């Protein structure tokens, strides 16, 4: 056995099965939608790891949510991922969301919803709904514990 085989076996032995945490949709079309949304948010989280203007943790939390309803395999992959898994484990353990991710997420929500409500939505009821949703998400983010450690670099 060479050294690379030993390290692979060690890494494989640390893989944890999280299938008991999943609640797959019974409808195959809905499962496919959840998987697509999961990969969409993984992609955004990946981009956010490189761009300082995009959060990572929030997108990965959303990806985990959708994968838990769409695919045991992808859910396990995400939680065992050497780059993203730590962020999700820290969040689940109550260690919180990194301060950088919170600030960027709140700024992006404010910018996107504010711009939409001010310039693109004409109906007052829809504007108020957008603002209420934005305030709800911002309130949720502010109530989560904050980690002062910066995001990992890939």
Q: Is it the case that residue 12 has pLDDT exceeding 80? A: no
Domain membership of residue 7 (yes or no) is no
| Structural domain includes residue 87 | yes
Instruction: List pLDDT tens digits, range 22-60.
Output: 899 899 999 999 999 999 999 998 988 887 667 788 889
Mean pLDDT across the stretch 49-73?
Answer: 86
Give the model's pLDDT for residue 52: 64
CB 50 within 8 A of CB 154: yes
Q: Which two tokens stand for residue 61?
A: 């939390």
Is 3 a domain residue? Answer: no
Secondary structure of residue 71 in the 3-state scheme: coil
- pLDDT computed for residue 112 by the predictor: 87
Has residue 34 been placed in a domain?
yes
| CB burial string 106-130: b at 16+ within 10 A, e below | beebeeebeeebeeebeeeeebeeb
Place of tokens 């305030």: 135
In a domain, 138, yes or no: yes
Positive or negative torsion for Cα 47, 50, 55, 61: positive
Q: Is residue 6 in a domain? A: no
CA distances from 100 to 44, 78, 105, 124 (A): 16, 21, 8, 33
**Domains held by the chain: number:** 1
* 3-class DSSP state of 50: helix
Please check whether residue 140 lies inside any domain of the structure: yes
pTM of the model: 0.62
* The pLDDT of residue 1: 47
Give the N- to C-terminal CA distance of the chain in Å, as an integer.
Answer: 30
Distance CA 24, CA 88 (A): 20
Structural domain of 47: 12-147
Asked whether the beta carbons of 139 and 86 are under 8 A apart, the reply is: no
């Amino acid at each position: 056995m060479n050294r690379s085989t030993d390290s692979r076996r060690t890494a494989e032995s640390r893989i944890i099965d999280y299938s008991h945490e999943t609640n797959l949709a019974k409808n195959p079309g809905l499962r496919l939608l959840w998987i697509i949304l999961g990969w969409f948010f993984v992609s955004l989280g990946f981009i956010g790891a490189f761009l300082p203007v995009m959060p990572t943790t929030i997108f990965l939390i959303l990806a985990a949510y959708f994968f838990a309803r769409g695919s045991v395999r992808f859910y396990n992959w995400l939680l065992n991922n050497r780059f993203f898994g730590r962020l999700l484990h820290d969040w689940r353990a109550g260690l919180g969301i990194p301060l950088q991710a919170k600030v960027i997420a709140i700024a992006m929500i404010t910018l996107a919803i504010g711009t939409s409500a001010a310039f693109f939505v004409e109906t007052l009821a829809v504007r108020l709904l957008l603002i209420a949703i934005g305030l709800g998400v911002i309130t949720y983010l502010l109530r989560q514990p904050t980690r002062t450690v910066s995001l990992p670099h890939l």
